[in-house]
Structure 1
Amino acid sequence: MRVVGGKYRGRRIKSMPKRADTKLLRPTTERVKESVFSILNNYLEGVKFLDLFAGTGAVGIEALSRGASKVVFVENDRRFCNLIRENLCSLRVPPERYEIICGDYTEALKRLAKRGEKFDFIYADPPYEKGYYTRIVNMVKNLGLLDEDGLLILEEPKKNPFIPDDERWLVEKRHYGTTTVSFLNFSEGEE
């Protein structure tokens, strides 16, 4: 895996070796990452970015590479948390520019809300088969984790895409092979 653009462009980051117990990891493809970040590129300088279900940290590292001031990585698997830390250290990312929360995403979101955190972008790439999309959307909205103009970006399977409760939240949907990426903003659905 490599960083697609920005300060760390072309630098390789480590991934977990393929094993039976890591089969649920489905890294964001370079094509999807490159497409999403070409859409966001002009809006990344100085932003706060949340990489939810971070895996190797590739998405959050891409945001850092392109100018995000801080990225919070949330990952449940301790092995991947260690891998994210290793990748950030190998790139020499200053520790004040990132935070790694190793634990359940629901608890992490509650903790971030309790601290009053707000993000410009939240990227969520949960395991497709787990059906977390509705819960993620509801928690991000109800906990007020996005800035007013912030976007929740969901990576989902094209064959079974997520439909939000209020379609006014949906800013855009893009399709890349078997993957769909939805961009949501909750101020669109406010009365």
Structure 2
Amino acid sequence: MRVVGGKYRGRKIKSMPKREDTKLLRPTTERVKESVFSILNNYLEDTRFLDLFAGTGAVGIEALSRGAEKVVFVESDRRFCKLIRENLKSLGIPPEKYEIICDDFTKALKKLGKRGMKFDFIYADPPYERGYYTRVVNMVKNLGLLDEDGLLILEEPKKNPFIPEDEEWLVEKRHYGTTIVSFLNFNPEGEE
């Protein structure tokens, strides 16, 4: 796996050996990552980015490579938290640019909400089969984790796409093979 663009473009990111991660991880494909970041590229400078269900940290590292000010990685599996730390260290990314929360996503989101954290972008790539989409969307909205113009980006399966409670939240949907990426904003009209 490699960083697709920005400061660390072309640098390698470690993943778990295949025998260990086949049931644990479904990494974001290079095509999806490249497409999403080509959309976000001009808007990433000095932003706060949350990589939810971070896995190897590839999505958050891509955001840092393209100018994000700070990335918070949330991952529940301690082995992957260690791997994220190793990847960040191998790239020489300063510790003040990131935070790793090794906890269940619901506990992590509540902690971030209590701290009053707000993000410009939240990327969520939960395990497809677990049905976490509604919980993620509701928690992000109810805890006020997005800035007014912030986007929640959901990676989801084409065969069972997520339908938001309010269609107005949906800014855009992109299709990439068997994957759909939805971009949501909870303040579509710029309302206060």
Shorter-chain-normalised TM-score: which range?
over 0.9
Structure 1: 4+ residue segments shifted above 2 A? 19-22
**What residue ranges of structure 1 are gaps of 5+ in the alignment?**
none
In structure 2, C-alpha distance between the alignment counterparts of 1:169 and 1:48, rounded to whole Å: 20
Alignment match, 2:60: 60
Q: CA deviation at 1:23?
A: 1.2
**What residue ranges of structure 2 are gaps of 5+ in the alignment?**
none
Percent identity of the aligned residues?
Answer: 86
Q: Secondary structure at the match of 1:13?
A: coil
Q: Secondary structure at the match of 1:113?
A: helix
Report 1:160-179 matches (<5 A).
Answer: 160-179=160-179
Alignment match, 2:122: 122
Match for 1:57: what amino acid?
G
Match for 1:77: what amino acid?
D
State yes or no: 1:2 paired with 2:27: no
Alignment match, 2:50: 50
Which TM-score applies when normalising by structure 2?
0.97
Q: CA deviation at 1:188?
A: 1.8
Report 1:60-139 matches (<5 A).
Answer: 60-139=60-139
Q: Secondary structure at the match of 1:19?
A: helix
Q: Secondary structure at the match of 1:136?
A: helix
CA RMSD in angstroms, aligned pairs only: 1.2
Which TM-score applies when normalising by structure 1?
0.98
Residues 75-114 of structure 1 deviation map (CA, whole Å, 9 limit, x = unaligned): 0000000000000000000000000000100000000010
In structure 2, C-alpha distance between the alignment counterparts of 1:16 and 1:177, rounded to whole Å: 24
Q: Secondary structure at the match of 2:41?
A: helix
Alignment match, 1:148: 148
Q: Secondary structure at the match of 2:33?
A: helix
Residues 110-166 of structure 1 deviation map (CA, whole Å, 9 limit, x = unaligned): 000100000000000000000000000000000000000000000000111000000
Match for 2:124: what amino acid?
A
In structure 1, C-alpha distance between the alignment counterparts of 2:104 and 2:83, rounded to whole Å: 17
Q: Secondary structure at the match of 2:18?
A: coil
Note closer, same or farther for the CA distance 1:102–1:127 as it changes in structure 2 (3 Å cut): same
Q: Secondary structure at the match of 2:8?
A: coil
In structure 1, C-alpha distance between the alignment counterparts of 2:148 and 2:112, rounded to whole Å: 17
Q: Secondary structure at the match of 1:40?
A: helix
Residues 15-51 of structure 1 deviation map (CA, whole Å, 9 limit, x = unaligned): 0111256413000000000000000000000000000
Q: Secondary structure at the match of 1:87?
A: helix
Note closer, same or farther for the CA distance 1:173–1:86 as it changes in structure 2 (3 Å cut): same
- Equivalent pairs, count: 191
In structure 2, C-alpha distance between the alignment counterparts of 1:136 and 1:17, rounded to whole Å: 29
Note closer, same or farther for the CA distance 1:166–1:7 as it changes in structure 2 (3 Å cut): same
